[in-house]
Amino acid sequence: MKALATQGAGRIVGRRLLHSPGPTPVPDEVLWAMNRQPMDLGDPRVDSSIQACETGLRRLLQTEAADVFLYASNGHGVWEAVVENLLPLGGAALVPGTGHFSESWAVQTEALGRRVLRTPWVEGLPIDVAAVAQALRQDHQHEIRAVFVVHTDTSSGVSTDLAALRAAIDATGHPALFVVDVVASLGAAPFAMDALRADVVLGASQKGLMCPPGIGFVAVNAAALAMASANPAPRFYWDWVRRKSDLSYRKFCGTAPQSLVAGLAAALGLLFQEGLDQVFERHRQLAQAVHAAVQGWSSAGALDFFARDPAARSVSVTTVLVPSGTDVDALRTVARERFQVAFAGALGPLSGRAFRIGHLGDQNPASMMGCLAGIEAALLVQGIPIGRDGLARASLALSQTPAVAGPELA
Ligand SMILES: *Cc1c(COP(=O)(O)O)cnc(C)c1O
């Protein structure tokens, strides 16, 4: 039998569903906002859309006082901004292990001539909070200036309980700054910078914030800005002190990425229009549907959740272990080219051992069920043994969740 062709002569019929955990689909309203001519640098619309991003990010991050600095960059760029502003050359950070992303940040920090202490990562588990506290207690000289925490490790699909981590750090009395990477969780899971007493928070545009890749941002409190001001390490583009200005040309250390800024302002507006509680509840429900499907597929004994503790499973992304010998790239190709569902492979130490389903950003029950159906069909094509009630369990999970109040249901 000839394979169903949904892509003839280079044309994709219908929509290809994008379920990587970043980049994520971009809502039409965001595309429309970006679809504009460049403006001269003195055009007041430039300033007002930058301000809308700063104000909106403060509101989303739940911070009153932090300075927000936006960069024409990706997530790695703002990792670099944090390192260069907070740590002098040779200065140290503690990076708690939580998978590929914490390790990548640690490696980048070392490449920039700083020192890194790590806590061990146990596969499938969140950050070892006790090990973080122990590392701080052993640092009698207070050489560790900051703890670099990845909230949701996008490779492991694991989230760490930040309040518990903050409490454990507090209990040590160590003055290290608390720096949190929310690239994969912001806009999907609740986050409150001030209540958490996070000193620096960093994110990027292309995951829960429903924008194309290209903007990275940090929110910086007074303690972190003071540490940066006193840090003699050479830097220019990433420098927070230099960017603290009312002039948009200074804020961006040059020309602002105007289209992306307009898109981010529109995307933040969409989140507030939906209501943040609804946004977080929607993500929780969609994650439950995905978990239900994976549970169903796993009953045949071949697939399994990577995250061992159900409470630590992320609302943004689910990492699914496959049997050894599985060709994950072939599975993804079948899903993408035949069934129009794009999902992700795994990274670093998990490469070839797992695939990842993104369920963050502009997703709804229909897009998620389409995604799960395409993955299920691809698993069948590839002959990977799966329980046949994955989709049934997912729709049952959706049917059992309370309606998320939207404007028309309220
Ligand atoms: C995606 C991601 C990054 C890196 O972002 P890029 O834009 O790909 O550089 C950093 N941290 C986390 C948690 C991420 O998910």
Question: What does the pLDDT look like over 97-142, one tens digit per residue?
Answer: 999 999 999 999 999 999 999 999 999 999 999 999 999 999 999 9
How far apart (Å, rounded) are the C-alpha atoms in residues 176 and 376? 46
Residues 228-253, mean pLDDT to the nearest whole number: 96
Whose CA is closest to 320, among 338, 342, 340, 293? 293
Q: 360 C-alpha vs ligand 1 centroid, how far in Å?
A: 14
Neighbours of 168 (CB within 10 A): 17
Amino acid at 83: V
pLDDT at 405 over 90: no
Ligand 1 pocket residue status of 181, Cβ below 6 Å:
yes
Cβ partners under 8 Å of residue 382, min gap 6: 326, 327, 330, 331, 334
Identify the pLDDT of residue 410.
44
pLDDT at 403 over 90: no
| CATH number for the domain whose boundaries are 17-25+275-399 | 3.90.1150.10
Ligand 1 pocket residue status of 154, Cβ below 6 Å:
yes
Q: 171 C-alpha vs ligand 1 centroid, how far in Å?
A: 30
Identify the pLDDT of residue 406.
57
- Closest approach atom of ligand 1 to CA 21: 15
Query: Where do the structural domains in the chain lie, given as residue ranges?
Result: 17-25+275-399, 28-272
Cβ partners under 8 Å of residue 102, min gap 6: 95, 96, 121, 127, 148, 150, 153
Q: 210 C-alpha vs ligand 1 centroid, how far in Å?
A: 14
pLDDT tens per residue across span 10-22: 788 899 999 999 9
Ligand 1 pocket residue status of 71, Cβ below 6 Å:
no
Neighbours of 11 (CB within 10 A): 7
**DSSP secondary structure letter of residue 37:** -
Q: 286 C-alpha vs ligand 1 centroid, how far in Å?
A: 22
Domain 28-272 bears CATH identifier 3.40.640.10: yes
pLDDT at 7 over 60: no
Q: 78 C-alpha vs ligand 1 centroid, how far in Å?
A: 9
- Is there a shared CATH topology between the 17-25+275-399 domain and the 28-272 domain? no
For ligand 1, atom 5, the nearest C-alpha belongs to 75
Ligand 1 pocket residue status of 186, Cβ below 6 Å:
no
How far apart (Å, rounded) are the C-alpha atoms in residues 282 and 364? 8
pLDDT tens per residue across span 20-57: 999 999 999 999 999 999 999 999 999 999 999 999 99
Identify the pLDDT of residue 3.
61
